[in-house]
Structure 1
Amino acid sequence: MKITIVAGSQRANSQSEKVAQYLGKIAQSSFEQVNILDLHAINLPLWNENIGKGGEEWKPWKEIAEGLSTSDAFIFITPEWHGMATPALKNFLMLSTAKEMAHKPALAVSVSASVNGVYPISELRLTGSKNNHVCFLPDHLIFRDVSALLDQNLHCTKPHFDERCRYTMTLLEGYARALGPVHRDMLEAGKAFIHGM
Structure 2
Amino acid sequence: MAATTSIVIIVGTNRPNSMSRRIAEYYQRLLNQYDTPSTILDLVDLPHDFTFTALYANSGKNGAFNELRSHIDGAEKFIFIAPEYNGSYPGVLKAFIDGLPYPNSFTNKKAALVGLSSNNQGAATALSHLNDIFSYLGMNTLALRVKLAQIQAHFHDSEITNPLYKELLEIQAEQIIRF
- TM-score of the two chains, using structure 2 as the length reference: 0.85
After superposition, where does 1:16-35 map in structure 2 within 5 Å?
Answer: 16-30=20-34, 32-35=36-39
Task: Indicate the residue corresponding to 2:127 in structure 1.
Answer: 121
Task: Indicate the residue corresponding to 2:44 in structure 1.
Answer: 40
After superposition, where does 1:37-186 map in structure 2 within 5 Å?
Answer: 37-43=41-47, 45-46=50-51, 48-52=55-59, 54-55=60-61, 58-97=62-101, 98-116=103-121, 117-131=123-137, 133-152=138-157, 154-175=158-179
CA distance in 2, matches of 1:108, 1:90: 15
Say which SS state the counterpart of residue 17 (structure 2) adopts: coil
Instruction: After TM superposition, give the deviation of residue 129 of structure 1 in Å.
Output: 4.4
More helix by share: 1
Alignment RMSD (CA, Å): 1.9
Which residue identity lines up with residue 167 of structure 2 in the other structure?
E
Which residue identity lines up with residue 37 of structure 2 in the other structure?
Q
Say which SS state the counterpart of residue 160 (structure 2) adopts: coil
Q: Where do 5+ consecutive residues of structure 2 fail to align?
A: none
Say which SS state the counterpart of residue 156 (structure 2) adopts: coil
Which residue identity lines up with residue 57 of structure 2 in the other structure?
N
% of aligned pairs identical? 22
CA distance in 2, matches of 1:59, 1:2: 23
- The answer to whether the 8 Å contact 1:6/1:76 transfers is yes
Instruction: After TM superposition, give the deviation of residue 60 of structure 1 in Å.
Output: 1.7
CA distance in 2, matches of 1:92, 1:135: 19
CA distance in 2, matches of 1:85, 1:31: 30
Q: Deviations over 1:16-64 (max 9, x none)?
A: 1111111111112345321111112324612632144x32xx2122222
| Structure with max Cα Rg | 1
CA distance in 2, matches of 1:84, 1:160: 23
Instruction: After TM superposition, give the deviation of residue 99 of structure 1 in Å.
Output: 4.3
CA distance in 2, matches of 1:31, 1:120: 30
Q: Where do 5+ consecutive residues of structure 1 fail to align?
A: 176-197
- TM-score of the two chains, using structure 1 as the length reference: 0.78
The number of aligned residues is: 170
Task: Indicate the residue corresponding to 1:9 in structure 2.
Answer: 13
CA distance in 2, matches of 1:86, 1:125: 14
CA distance in 2, matches of 1:115, 1:77: 17
